[in-house]
Homo-oligomer: A and B are copies of this chain.
Amino acid sequence: MTDHPPRTRIQQRNRETILGAALEVFSQHGFRGATLDQIAQAAGLSKPNLLYYFPSKEAMHEALLAGLMDTWLAPLRALDPGGEPLDEILGYVHRKLLLSRDFPRESRLFANEILQGAERIRPTLEGELKTLVDQTAAVIAGWAREGRIAPVDPYHLIFSIWALTQHYADFDVQVRAVLGAGKDDPFDGADRYLATLFRRLLTP
């Protein structure tokens, strides 16, 4: 017994193809800007065939968002309150940057959602996300109180990690326009820069 009706291999494969195409299109145009025609073309399927696998455009979008939040919060969950403070925070920054590098479309899907009011995920932000951030902020505040890192507002510290890592995915076009064509991968430079930044910020 599973949560969902059993699916053949071909059904499973098509659902994944469609979700991949939907991610591509939604992340580039936002929910309202995306069209089923674009998704169908990206998936190599007909428009009605999309709607055989998902009841609506909305359902595709929800399916993408549902899986996203856990992936996005995993690096923060992996922060160990018992570890060495600076290593833990630098490790979080590094993991979050890798996530932006390897899943830029997911990052942009999320950014589109927040930017446009987050109506579909506001409950998650105010619930699950806030709870996790509150816990982590308490840990970081404890480290600062013990003098193991320099004193710093833990909430703004977390915001700054999000802003700095996601910037390279969400504003990729601008970053590459400014750096020019012949440069290294922006993410390599970012990794070194961010390690330096947070080391200098947090070293007591």
Contacts and interface: CB of A to CB of B under 8 A. Distances in A.
Interface in A1-39: 28-33
A155 B179 contact: yes
Nearest to A190: B156
A186 B119 CA distance: 20
Copies per complex of this chain? 2
A45 interface: no
B163 A167 contact: yes
B178 A129 contact: yes
Interface size on A, as a range, is 35 or more
A145 B117 CA distance: 44
A150 interface: yes
Given A163-B164, A189-B156, A29 B32 contact: yes
Contact of A160 (B153, B164, B200): B164
20 contacts: A30-B32, A32-B32, A32-B33, A111-B115, A111-B170, A111-B171, A112-B116, A115-B170, A118-B174, A122-B173, A125-B178, A133-B178, A153-B193, A155-B189, A159-B168, A159-B171, A159-B190, A160-B193, A164-B164, A200-B200
A26 to B, nearest CB: 11
A138 interface: no
Contacts of A156: 189-190, 193-194
A90 B178 CA distance: 22
